[in-house]
Structure 1
Amino acid sequence: MRKDYDLGDVVELKKPHPCGTNAWTIVRMGMDIRLKCTGCGATVLFVRSEFERRLRRVLKKATPGA
């Protein structure tokens, strides 16, 4: 999969979070990617390959300069 996501983007994963929401904000990128749940604020850390496997689509791109 080509990289089509960036820091601050809101993404949708294949499985929803237990709180019921399926939207996550990317808060850290490197060898691994940290996501923050938009519903409850919980954070999870994925290895990049695992994140790309679970990624369904980018819901909202981050605003430039934010």
Structure 2
Amino acid sequence: MDVQVGDRLQMKKNHPCGSREFLVLRAGMDFKLRCTGCGREVMVSRRKIEKNIKKIIREGE
């Protein structure tokens, strides 16, 4: 799956704050994401993220 820094990810499940969108801050073997609702930053493994992505939103589209 082609996920790049700066993409917004719409996930299948909500974050505890209620938001479903995350901003990608770092991509590699694991991802650093920032919740667009509350601003919390989390590190999550690539396998877990790729399984839970519903939609990738790019700024240019």
Normalising by structure 2, we get a TM-score of 0.87
Separation in 2, partners of 1:14, 1:27: 19
Provide runs of 4+ in structure 1 moved above 3 Å: none
Correspondence 1:47-62 to 2 at 5 A? 47-58=45-56, 60-62=57-59
Unaligned 5+ runs, structure 2: none
- Do 1:7 and 1:62's aligned partners in 2 also have CA atoms closer than 8 Å? no
Unaligned 5+ runs, structure 1: none
- Number of the residue aligned with 1:9: 7
Which of 13, 35, 58 is 1:37 aligned to? 35
Query: Closer, same or farther in 2 for the Cα pair 1:37/1:44, shift >3 Å?
Result: same
Q: Aligned to 1:33, what secondary structure does the other structure show?
A: strand
- Matched length: 60
C-alpha RMSD over aligned residues: 1.2
Correspondence 1:19-30 to 2 at 5 A? 19-30=17-28
